[in-house]
């Protein structure tokens, strides 16, 4: 009895003549996700990816990793046998014993893509269902609302049986829709924003603004840990750590306190745009949610955006905090995000920030800064972290 993994392709099946481009990226990402677990045979046929081990690999770990690969609609553990009803029914008895003991109702579905197989789909369902009812007398058939569905697939190169199918990560294959730079703080929101865009096939480079001695080494390590967790979904993601202390001190010393946050974020966007250009990124990603804090009002966001020509992607803009927290728990970043190490966004926070600043106000304050010089020196003090 050979166990394998079947992964069903998601929305890339809707692609037209360029479908093969997305298929190849998806296969590449699956291979990357299984790195270090052993040798696998991976092939794509009829919108299903078949993953078989060529040695004694950890299939449970492989299964967990495959569930995190964007571009897959569903994933299941399956068993393979030769294409004969005798082999199929024998395999059903053996491989489904533990699974079916947990349920009371079931149905059988058959998919016969090999039209040379002598039995049609309804006949396969009837025969396999009869064998399972005989083997597991506690079961009863419910074709409308079964607790578990047993699926038999008769393909060109073998027959497969599986019973429990789990949702895949969905979305588009990672790196299939361009690259973007993610402004990655140590909070809850920005990792979720990165995850949301990675799910749409965007390859990420993280940008973190680090302000020693106001933010410590533990704060930076917290962000790198978040990036490490995100690599489960974003293979190869790197983080540019920007030393931002001089810029923040200049804003503190030369600008009115009520405008600190907006001016600081405008400075961040200027630096982030330069990094994005160097990394060949087509957009910037931020984690703002409209109205969540004073710097995320419409007026403040408009002023923040006005300093850059880059496309700004804000996937969380219409979400509330509870929705964002739910996703952060799902992807495993929440517990790290709530560690009590402050990032530079909390440095020199005004007591009473202006919620409706005007461009004239901001430009008047920024006239006191050597903006070009500050951006240039930020760019000179960047550490690329793997």
Length of the chain equals 386
pLDDT at 248: 93
CA distances from 80 to 129, 152, 157, 259 (A): 18, 10, 10, 65
Tokens of residue 275, six digits: 């990094």
Whole-number Å distance between alpha carbons of 92 and 128: 7
Kindly report the CATH number that applies to the domain delimited by 179-385: 3.40.50.620
Contacts within 8 Å (CB) and 24+ apart, 297-305: 297/355, 297/356, 299/355, 299/356, 299/357, 299/358, 300/261, 300/262, 300/265, 300/355, 300/357, 303/262, 303/266, 303/357, 303/359, 303/362, 304/262, 304/265, 304/266, 304/269, 305/269
pLDDT at 2: 75
Tens-binned pLDDT, residue by residue, of the chain (386 aa): 678 999 999 999 988 888 999 999 999 999 999 999 989 999 998 899 999 988 888 889 999 999 999 999 999 999 999 999 999 999 998 898 888 988 999 999 999 988 899 999 999 999 999 999 999 999 999 999 999 999 999 988 789 999 888 999 999 999 999 999 999 988 999 999 999 999 999 999 999 999 998 888 898 999 999 999 999 999 999 999 999 999 999 999 999 988 988 999 999 999 999 999 999 999 999 999 998 877 788 888 999 999 999 999 999 999 999 999 999 999 999 999 998 877 766 667 777 777 788 999 999 999 999 999 999 999 999 999 87
Q: What number of CA atoms fall less than 13 Å from residue 72's CA on the CB side?
A: 29
pLDDT at 191: 97
Q: So where are the chain's domains?
A: 2-167, 179-385
Neighbours of 84 (CB within 10 A): 13
Question: Which residues, 6 or more positions from 140, have their beta carbon under 8 angstroms from its beta carbon?
Answer: 104, 105, 106, 133
Whole-number Å distance between alpha carbons of 2 and 22: 29
With vertex at residue 262, the alpha carbon angle to CA 260 and CA 264, rounded to the nearest 5 degrees, is: 65
pLDDT at 54: 84
Closest CA to 99 of 80, 122, 76, 121: 76
Indicate the fold that domain 2-167 takes in CATH: VC0802-like (3.30.2130)
Tokens of residue 339, six digits: 């560690």
CA distances from 303 to 9, 87, 276, 355 (A): 41, 68, 20, 11
Note the pTM of the prediction, 2 decimals.
0.89
pLDDT at 114: 87
Structure letter (DSSP) for residue 296? G
Tokens of residue 192, six digits: 């979720």
pLDDT at 159: 92
**Residue indicated by tokens 């930020």:** 378
């Amino acid at each position: 009895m050979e166990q394998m993994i079947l992964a069903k392709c998601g929305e890339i099946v809707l692609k037209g003549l360029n479908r093969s481009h997305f298929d190849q990226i998806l296969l590449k990402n699956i291979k990357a996700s299984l790195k270090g677990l052993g040798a696998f045979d991976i092939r794509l046929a009829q919108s299903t990816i078949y993953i078989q081990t060529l040695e004694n690999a950890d299939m449970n770990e492989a299964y967990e990793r495959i569930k995190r690969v964007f571009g897959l609609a569903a994933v299941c553990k399956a068993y393979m046998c030769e294409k004969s009803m005798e082999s199929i029914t024998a395999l059903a008895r053996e491989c489904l014993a533990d699974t079916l003991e947990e349920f009371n109702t079931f149905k059988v579905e058959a998919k016969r893509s090999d039209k040379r197989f002598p039995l049609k789909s309804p006949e396969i369902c009837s025969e396999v269902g009869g064998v399972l009812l005989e083997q597991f007398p506690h079961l009863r058939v419910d074709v409308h609302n079964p607790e578990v569905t047993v699926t038999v697939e008769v393909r060109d190169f073998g027959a497969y049986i599986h019973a429990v199918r789990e949702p895949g990560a969905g979305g588009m294959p990672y790196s299939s829709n361009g690259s973007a730079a993610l402004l990655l703080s140590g909070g809850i929101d920005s990792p979720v924003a990165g995850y949301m865009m990675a799910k749409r096939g965007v390859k990420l480079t993280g940008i973190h603004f680090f302000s020693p001695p106001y933010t410590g080494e533990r704060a930076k390590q917290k962000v790198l840990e978040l990036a490490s967790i995100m690599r489960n979904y974003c293979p190869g993601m790197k983080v540019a750590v920007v030393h931002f202390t001089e810029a923040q001190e200049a804003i503190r010393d030369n600008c009115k306190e009520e405008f600190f946050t907006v001016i600081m974020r405008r400075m961040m966007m200027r630096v982030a745009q330069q990094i994005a250009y160097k990394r060949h990124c087509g957009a910037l990603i931020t984690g703002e949610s409209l109205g969540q804090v004073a710097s995320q009002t419409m007026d403040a966001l408009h002023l923040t955006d006005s300093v850059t020509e880059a496309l700004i992607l804000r996937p969380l803009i219409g979400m509330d905090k509870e929705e964002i927290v739910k996703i952060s728990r799902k992807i495993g970043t929440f517990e790290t995000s709530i560690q009590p190490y402050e990032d530079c966004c909390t440095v020199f926070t005004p007591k009473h920030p202006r919620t409706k600043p005007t461009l004239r106000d901001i430009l008047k304050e920024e006239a006191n800064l050597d903006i070009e010089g500050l951006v240039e020196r930020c760019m000179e003090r960047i550490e690329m972290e793997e």
